[in-house]
């Protein structure tokens, strides 16, 4: 793109798009963030016309439809942040129109759909990335470094958890996350997806087997209420993830701090607080993220050495990849969806272990 800014538009302007992608990722909140180098967010669209105000409040152009975005020749790339069931078709149309794409997880609701998107991106040499933003949290990177360096001793177990309380009101229960299991919006697809790529990131090894069971239902929603997922990685590590929509955890602060993981080594145990969420570690966030490392000596608490906004890093990496020779084709998203679908399949069969090829 030779020094020209990469011009983005957002398709699907709901909660995540407004609060995390536009305000933080594209730095529209100028009180908190400086403009991103080489990147410009031009506008956004949503099927709900009521979202026009929110778009225009951020001084962005309102597009009448996704098609209007795809037809705009001045737009280089789109960020798809709509309901899960629309990711495939919208990403396909965007790629077909020659746009580079970042798509929210899961990149599609079927493996066939995800593979088609990856193939289309490769065929058209367009950068297709999936928003696996938690790998950019600096404390998660620190945890991975401690594991890789052997600081915890030999790691033999890890446990990740993303437990929420969502779906108890009629409004939440009728939302796409809770009301339509085909959207993969229940806890396995919604947050299990994050836990699974983070398990691979932290251990530096891919998941080869998965077994899962649904946890007891207390919410009257069509999606699963929660799941316990066991996995084994290629390098022989075993671990688990707990995901749910029916675990109130005291206050908002305690719920957020509980979103994290434990990594158990023969010398030390590492506990991460609040790092499996949408937070980057900025001082003005509602909780202070931290890692606690304890062994036979005194416990040590690690705070971020520096903070990089996790959504900005996804966008900057995508923009940089557009200028690079080798562009991502979303294969990590295909792999992640394969794991998510395996977890659903195992849970539906009562916990049968599934081998991933
Ligand atoms: N990476 C993260 O941090 C993170 C966090 C939450 C949600 N998500 C993902 O982001 C996506 C959106 O989640 P959300 O919580 O913002 O949901 P949401 O319901 O608040 O927003 C979705 C928006 O998409 C719009 N939409 C639906 N179909 C559309 C279409 N065909 N064209 C244009 N707009 C359309 C809806 O009207 C709605 O405004 C989901 O895929 C979810 O999994 C990611």
Dump pLDDT digits (tens) for 85-139.
999 999 999 999 999 999 999 999 999 999 999 999 999 999 999 999 999 999 9
**pLDDT for the residue 326:** 86
Residue 75 has pLDDT above 70, yes or no: yes
pLDDT at position 303 is 86
Instruction: Find out whether the peptide bond into 126 is cis, omega within 30 degrees of 0.
Output: no
Question: If you average pLDDT over every residue of the chain, what do you get?
Answer: 96
- 120 and 186 inside one domain: no
d(CA 256, CA 259): 5
| Pocket of ligand 1 from Cβ distances under 6 Å | 11-17, 20, 45-48, 51, 66, 81-84, 86, 104-105, 131, 133, 190, 278
CATH code of 270's domain: 3.30.360.10
How buried is residue 73: exposed, middle or buried, by Cβ count under 10 Å (0-12/13-18/19+)? exposed
Read off the CATH number of the domain in which 87 is found.
3.40.50.720
- 296 — pLDDT class (breaks 50, 70, 90): confident
The verdict on 150 and 67 lying in the same domain is no
Q: Region 26-36: what's the mean pLDDT? A: 97
The residue count for the chain: 357
Whether 154 and 299 share a structural domain: yes
Tell me the pLDDT tens digit for each residue of 190-230.
999 999 999 999 999 999 999 999 999 999 999 999 999 99
Query: Ligand 1 test: best mutation among 81, 87, 277, most atoms within 8 Å of CB?
Result: 81
Looking at the structure, tell me whether residues 278 and 160 fall in a common domain: yes
Bridge partners (DSSP) listed for residue 163: 244
Q: CA–CA separation, 291 vs 272, rounded Å?
A: 4
Q: Residues 67-84: what's their mean pLDDT?
A: 98
Domain that holds residue 89: 6-133
Task: Please give the distance, rounded to the nearest whole angstrom, from the Cα atom of residue 154 to the centre of ligand 1.
Answer: 40
Residue % of the chain over a pLDDT of 90: 96
Categorize the per-residue pLDDT at 2 as very low, low, confident or very high, splitting at 50, 70 and 90: low
Pairing of strands 207-214, 300-302: unpaired
Last residue of a domain, one of 74, 106, 133: 133
If one counts the domains in the chain, the total is: 2
Query: What is the model's pLDDT at position 229?
Result: 98
- Only one residue has tokens 């671990």, namely 239
Of the candidates 133, 158, 180, which is a domain's last residue?
133
Residue 315 phi, psi (nearest 5): -70, -45
Judge whether residue 34 has pLDDT over 90.
Answer: yes
Q: Please identify, among 133, 152, 178, the residue that sits at the C-terminal boundary of a domain.
A: 133
Q: What is the arithmetic mean of pLDDT over 7-21?
A: 98
pLDDT in tens, 299-319: 899 988 889 999 999 999 999
């Amino acid at each position: 793109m030779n020094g020209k800014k990469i011009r983005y538009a957002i398709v699907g302007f709901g909660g995540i798009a407004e609060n995390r992608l536009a305000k933080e990722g594209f730095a529209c909140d100028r009180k908190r963030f400086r403009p991103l180098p080489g990147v410009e967010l031009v506008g956004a669209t949503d099927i709900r016309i009521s979202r026009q105000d929110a778009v225009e409040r951020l001084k962005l152009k309102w597009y009448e439809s996704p098609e209007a975005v795809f037809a705009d020749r001045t737009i280089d790339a789109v960020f798809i942040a709509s309901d899960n069931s629309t990711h495939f078709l919208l990403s396909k149309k965007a790629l077909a129109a020659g746009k580079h794409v970042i798509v929210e997880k899961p990149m599609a609701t079927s493996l066939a759909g995800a593979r088609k998107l990856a193939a289309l991106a490769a065929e058209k040499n367009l950068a297709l990335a999936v928003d696996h933003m938690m790998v950019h949290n600096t404390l998660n990177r620190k945890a991975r470094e401690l594991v890789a360096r052997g600081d915890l001793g030999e790691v033999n177990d890890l446990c990740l958890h993303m437990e929420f309380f969502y779906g108890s009101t009629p409004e939440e229960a009728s939302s796409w996350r809770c009301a339509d299991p085909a959207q993969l919006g229940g806890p396995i697809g919604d947050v299990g997806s994050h836990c699974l790529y983070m398990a691979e990131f932290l251990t530096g090894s891919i998941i080869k087997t998965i077994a899962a069971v649904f946890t007891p239902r207390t919410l009257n929603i069509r999606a699963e209420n929660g799941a316990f997922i066991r996995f084994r990685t290629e390098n022989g590590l075993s671990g688990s993830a707990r995901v749910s929509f029916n675990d109130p955890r005291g206050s908002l602060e305690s719920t957020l701090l509980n979103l994290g993981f434990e990594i158990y080594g023969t010398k030390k145990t590492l506990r991460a607080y609040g790092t499996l969420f949408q937070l980057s570690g900025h001082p003005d966030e509602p909780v202070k993220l931290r890692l606690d490392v304890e062994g036979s000596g005194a416990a040590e608490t690690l705070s971020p050495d520096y903070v990089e906004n996790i959504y900005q890093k996804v966008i900057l990496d995508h923009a940089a990849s557009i200028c690079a020779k080798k562009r991502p084709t979303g294969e990590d998203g295909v792999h992640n969806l394969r794991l998510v679908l395996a977890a659903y399949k195992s849970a539906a069969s009562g916990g049968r272990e599934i081998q991933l090829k």
